[in-house]
Structure 1
Amino acid sequence: MQFIETRGNDGIKPSSVTFSEAILSPSASFGGLYVPVQLPTIDTAFLEKHLNSHYKTLALDFLTTFGIDIEEDVLQAALDRYDGFDDPKNPVPLSEIEEDCCVAELYHGPTRAFKDMALQPFGYILAKLAQKRDENYLIMAATSGDTGPATLETFKNQDNVKVACLYPDGGTSDVQRLQMVTEDAPNLKVIGVKGNFDDTQQTLKELLASEDFKAELQTRNIKLSAANSVNFGRIIFQVIYHIHSYLEMMRSGKISMGEKIYLVVPSGNFGNALGGYYAKKAGLPIEKILISSNVNNILTDWINKGEYDLNDRELVLTESPAMDILKSSNIERIMFDKFGAARTRELMENLASEGRFKLAAEELAKLQEDFAASYSDDTECEKEIAKYAQKGYIMDPHTATCMKAYETLREKALPTVIYSTAEWTKFSPTVAKSLGHPVDGDIEALQWVTENTNVSVPPMIHALFHKPIVHTVVVEKDAIKGEMLNFL
């Protein structure tokens, strides 16, 4: 399988690259991203083949069908990272919350968030490629709360790899911050940034594309890569759990083979939704992908109006911080697939120079063939958390944004899968507040929720509050590069 560039080729970079090349060096021509030339087919025969498969069996077959240039024994070892999840045979269990609606719980890994589903195997593969080539890599990650802990967890103590993780100071939950700043492996560096997630992600993209920065790293015999979803190594694993969810719906008798379903995806950087889109394009019977946002609802405007406008917008800190994003990377891959490289480059250059772009009417119609969108504010989310807690199900605030999409966007009475991207324990003060008991800190909130509901706190969350703080650096965004070089 070859990978090409979303903004076309500059005549300097190769016109196409392999999967391993795309993940080791994810920055494409003109600041674009890598995408596969084609997708494998997910047809009835593929689904029937895996109706009784364990998750790792399904994943290995999908990756093999994709034709990526990674040896099968490496893929198998990477997928064995799922053995550390709550249930290795089924790392993404589905829970029914309505007769026609199930929640796919993507958070049963070591950092209790959906990023583990991609980063656990992806990190292993990237590290093995570096070791096989006898090359040293700096892996950069910018996080709104979940990518950071998952990246640090997968790469800690890996040979040939160092990680610099950027997080917005004050822009994550306490648990998310502790998951990063208490990591003590010598190959990890965590840097707080005075700014928001868009600031950290923009710096990451600029450094990935900076020839000067790469030259400085080269003097240290270090190459540069990234763990954010700008890297297709993340996306390929995010396709698989959408297939798994469909099979789980079949296994539970909620759908029959070929019956279409809705997916509801809480979205910030759009990687999770992109995985669903690729699954749909490959043949998985999906009616539509319903996107939910918080009040930073720029994705809602993009899908409903065809407008992406950063002017006169300020990022708002909410109770669903992983979606506190205005510059969403993976919409570029969608627009490439819909409109081609030349138009994608034009749109993204307009966004960079003018802070906005607008789709033509026919382009918006193409986008809406696959997507619909809504958003919820914090008050609405708190009401949804309380509503489902009374029914015996505790959800986090990101999952709560999905309920409006489920209730208002479905045009057909079809079964629905909602994606829960984080365990409630990462946002316990919001959950406690939603249940009528506002508190100041995570420890009291965790205790109160467990004592007043039927849920428990996993050991890795409890342990965070007893670990020493290792990383204390907080810098202005223009000091990030220097901080990374000092670390190296």
Structure 2
Amino acid sequence: MDFRSTRSSEKVSPSYALLHGLAQDGGLYVPSVFPEGVLSYTDLKNKKYQEIAEVVLSYFFTNFTDEERKTMIENAYNDVNFADSRIVPLHSIDTALSITELFHGRTLAFKDMALSLFPYLLTAAKKQEKEDREILILTATSGDTGKAALEGFKDVEGTNIMVFYPSMGVSPMQKQQMQKQEGNNVNVSAIHGNFDDAQSFLKRVFTNEEVNAYANKKGILFSSANSINVGRLLPQIVYYVSTYVSLVDSGCIEEGEAFDVVVPTGNFGNILAGYFAKKMGIPIAQFICASNENKVLADFFETGVYDMKREFFTTASPSMDILLSSNFERFLFYVAGADSAKVAAWEKDLQETGKMAVSAEELKSLREEFSGGWIDDDETRAVINHVYNDFGYLLDPHTAVAYGVYLNRRKQGLAQRHTVIMATAHPYKFPPVICDALALGQKDNPFDMLETIASCTGIYLPKALAELEMKPVRFANTMEKEEMKQAVLSFVDAIHAEHM
């Protein structure tokens, strides 16, 4: 399996794509020939999550042997990294709705699903490419990716990681997780700006010849832990495949029966992984893209116009506060019928004008599989309250957005099939929102709020958060977004000095 750029005919090996993240032309890597229709329930039944992962990833990372992939997967998905032996348990709300819980990893967010495996993939790719430079992972985060990447790569030999996050755009608990990160090879900085500012800067770094030449002179290669990297994106396919197997095994649907998924969406990687699962043979009928007030994606699926020239909102679901969704480019590649020239033109329009549009015919075609919806913060809190009081189930604000969009579709008579909501984070990562939603009152200390929520709900405090309060703050700095380049170069110098 080779990988190609979304913007040109450039082709590279899986190990090269893993190491470099972004294509040289600024595009994203996708499989050169996608493995369509290769999965069926018959081949997957009776398999554990790890075994399903071995099947799925064997189609993409063909540069590794079966035994190498198996070892990496077993090291990633075990009881050390995940609190539930099922890895992604399925929770049924009623006969028409199930929730896939993606938050049982070390950092309590769905980003753990890929970032538990990605360090093994990257380390193996580095060895395979005979790359002797130190790797510097540069990552932008809207909340969850940063902590998951930091935890995945902390003290991994030959790698270093630097994370940027918006100072006012993450929850108090997400901020605590990053500011108190352990590890000798990590660096974390807040910026005065939003996620799009951080992400756009890092994309420019990856294609900046001057900065890359400087890093290379210091013996350092840049890479990414954002879902622009195939090592982040492709492992996410596995939990959609696992969800299908669990739905059939539990009697929610019959073998081969179609179902819908609702995905709270910011950077479009999670929902794109589901689309890839469908292309591989999983019978997903509709993908419902759930947005908060930053509803650029929901609007696109309504109008066919992606317009990021709009007001940016800081919301109760901060991981979705994104206007420039990186993985959307990969989706456009398939909308365009793998026409890289068309994708390049669309991306140029987006960069120069802040807008791009598909044709009426293309919109009609993609709406056969995709639709969008959104709710605001007041509705998000109301959904959390409703689901907890009616079902005794506590949602985080991102999953509540998806649930709210599902409820609106059901009111409109659009929810005709069994539907799965992809639950992306543990609710305890967002104590102020949960306290507001359950009318518990807010406190200055987020850990005091967690105690209040736990006393009210009886939901135990996860060990990862219980231990966090007493850890020291290591990274409290906040910089202007214009200072990010110098911060990266300074970290390059520090890494070089340590390893020279």
Q: Same fold (TM over 0.5)?
A: yes
| Cα offset, 1:274, TM superposition | 0.3
Match for residue 401 of structure 2?
A: 401
Match for residue 281 of structure 2?
A: 283
| Aligned equivalents of 1:344, 1:60: Cα separation in 2 | 32
Match for residue 125 of structure 1?
A: 121
Per-residue CA deviation, residues 64-97 of structure 1 (Å, 9 max, x unaligned), is 1335212334322321221124456410001111
**Are the equivalent residues in 2 in contact too, given 1:54–1:89 (CA < 8 A)?**
no
**Are the equivalent residues in 2 in contact too, given 1:78–1:120 (CA < 8 A)?**
no
TM-score by length of 1: 0.96
| Aligned equivalents of 2:201, 2:38: Cα separation in 1 | 41
Matches within 5 A, 1:377-392: 377-390=376-389, 391-392=391-392
| Aligned equivalents of 2:149, 2:82: Cα separation in 1 | 19
User: 2:56 is matched with which residue: 62, 65, 84?
Assistant: 62
Secondary structure (helix, strand or coil) at the match of 1:31 reads coil
| Cα offset, 1:128, TM superposition | 3.2
| Aligned equivalents of 2:395, 2:239: Cα separation in 1 | 19
TM-score by length of 2: 0.93
Letter aligned with residue 2 of structure 2 = Q
Match for residue 108 of structure 1?
A: 104
User: 1:75 is matched with which residue: 63, 69, 74?
Assistant: 69
Letter aligned with residue 226 of structure 1 = S
Q: Does 1:51 align with 2:48?
A: no
| Aligned equivalents of 2:320, 2:93: Cα separation in 1 | 23
Letter aligned with residue 355 of structure 2 = R
Match for residue 346 of structure 2?
A: 347
Match for residue 12 of structure 1?
A: none
User: 1:139 is matched with which residue: 137, 140, 154?
Assistant: 137
Aligned residues: 481
RMSD across aligned C-alpha pairs, in angstroms? 1.5
Secondary structure (helix, strand or coil) at the match of 1:65 reads coil
**Are the equivalent residues in 2 in contact too, given 1:51–1:247 (CA < 8 A)?**
yes
| Aligned equivalents of 1:160, 1:43: Cα separation in 2 | 36
Secondary structure (helix, strand or coil) at the match of 1:248 reads helix
Identical aligned pairs, as a percentage? 36
**Are the equivalent residues in 1 in contact too, given 2:190–2:478 (CA < 8 A)?**
yes
Match for residue 263 of structure 1?
A: 261
| Aligned equivalents of 1:293, 1:324: Cα separation in 2 | 9
Secondary structure (helix, strand or coil) at the match of 1:265 reads strand
**Are the equivalent residues in 1 in contact too, given 2:261–2:288 (CA < 8 A)?**
yes
Q: Does 1:459 align with 2:463?
A: yes
| Aligned equivalents of 1:200, 1:105: Cα separation in 2 | 28
The alpha-carbon distance between structure 1 residues 166 and 67, as it changes in their structure 2 partners (threshold 3 A), is: closer
Structure 1 residues without counterparts, runs of 5 or longer:
10-14
Q: Does 1:373 align with 2:367?
A: no
| Cα offset, 1:373, TM superposition | 0.5
**Are the equivalent residues in 1 in contact too, given 2:31–2:60 (CA < 8 A)?**
no
Q: Does 1:33 align with 2:28?
A: yes
**Are the equivalent residues in 2 in contact too, given 1:271–1:330 (CA < 8 A)?**
yes
**Are the equivalent residues in 2 in contact too, given 1:373–1:409 (CA < 8 A)?**
no
Structure 2 residues without counterparts, runs of 5 or longer:
493-500
**Are the equivalent residues in 2 in contact too, given 1:124–1:154 (CA < 8 A)?**
no
Secondary structure (helix, strand or coil) at the match of 1:56 reads helix
| Aligned equivalents of 2:370, 2:460: Cα separation in 1 | 35
Per-residue CA deviation, residues 178-227 of structure 1 (Å, 9 max, x unaligned), is 11111131111101111000000001100011111110101111111101
Match for residue 437 of structure 1?
A: 440
Greater displacement, 195-204 / 401-410: 401-410
Letter aligned with residue 170 of structure 1 = M
**Are the equivalent residues in 2 in contact too, given 1:55–1:89 (CA < 8 A)?**
no
Q: Does 1:195 align with 2:193?
A: yes
| Cα offset, 1:341, TM superposition | 1.0
User: 1:166 is matched with which residue: 155, 164, 167?
Assistant: 164
| Cα offset, 1:110, TM superposition | 0.2
**Are the equivalent residues in 2 in contact too, given 1:269–1:325 (CA < 8 A)?**
yes
Letter aligned with residue 35 of structure 1 = V
**Are the equivalent residues in 2 in contact too, given 1:124–1:155 (CA < 8 A)?**
no
